[in-house]
Copies of this chain bind each other. A is one copy, B any other.
Amino acid sequence: MVRLSGIFCPIPTPFRSDDTVDERALRSNVARWMHTPLVGLVVLGSNGEAPQLDDEEADRIVAIVRGEVPRDRVLVAGTGRESTKATIAASRRAAAAGVDAVIVRTPSFFKPQMTSEAFVRHYTEVADASPVPILLYNVAMYTGVNLLPDAVEPLASHPNIVGMKESGGDIGQVAELVARTPRGFAVLAGSATTLFHALCAGCDGAVLALAALLPDECVNLWTLVREGRLDEARASQRRLTPIARAVGSTHGVPGLKAALDLLGFVGGPPRAPLRPAGTQVIEEIRRQLDALGVLPTARV
């Protein structure tokens, strides 16, 4: 059984200036996250710039990270592709590389045809074929399609589908997912700006880019809600919201990588057409991290 409760981090992919994967940086970043209370890592997610990697790069990244993550942490790899066929192939490769589970972003190109019925068939075929458990992954902000509770409910009873990540901030939809899926099916939030609300709504945990920067704070917020300490949890959310927004919808992966650089990780440049955060954005993020008291002393 994969443990899918608590806070996960979807790790970015560091690139060198020649646009190749910086494997050494990847290793050192992962090693550092292993000293935090994160339950596990997600490689090749949206924040890992997965849609911009080729299959060889992707496979290599999984192998490297697997080497750094001990077995008592959970390692999940993103394997969503536009075709069912390619998704199954990627899931098998990731399973062979030793991941604990795969997380499968919705296909999304042919939007009008991506009905709940199409999603149910797609995920059923992937789950049937995958050697490891799968998680559904809904990220409408990037895909422009919405995996609705009407599709998730039937999929949640498939023995090889163990949970989902819902990145949207529509709290009604999050609550409906929790209500319409069985207890053993993990609903993980994906939006750090509404983390507190999603946990109140009954989410088991979250997969948060913000957790790459502030793992202790994210885990703490999760714990506060678990213990029913609402006022403290709400206050914690308020402190985190500005930086969550900056490295989320506002500045995206470039913002996240800039923040990692400021914290002593290796963020590095994103892959084009993404562009590195500009000076003003870096300064804005620096101020937000400073206000939280997490900047390395030398930098303040």
- A8 within 8 Å of B by Cβ? no
**Would you call B175 and A125 a contact (CB within 8 A)?**
no
Main secondary structure of the interface of A (DSSP, over half): helix
* Residues of chain A in range 50-92 having any CB-CB distance to chain B below 8 Å: 51-54, 82-86
Tell me if A184 counts as interface (CB < 8 A to partner B).
Answer: no
Quick check: B171 and A197 within 8 Å, CB to CB? yes
Copies of the chain in the assembly: 4
Q: In the complex the two chains form, is A175's CB within 8 Å of B237's CB? A: yes
The CA-CA distance from A113 to B247 in the complex, in Å, is: 12
* Tier of interface size on chain A: 35 or more
Chain B CB within 8 A of A274 CB: yes
Stretch with Cβ within 8 A of B (4 or more), from A31-39, A116-124, A158-166:
A116-124
- Within 8 Å CB of A107, what residues of B? 273
A170: B residues at CB distance < 8 A: 169-170
A237 to B114, CA, bound (A): 29
- In the assembled complex, the Cα of A19 lies from the Cα of B99 at a distance in Å of 27
A3 at the interface (CB under 8 A from B): no
| A264 is an interface residue with CB less than 8 A from chain B | no
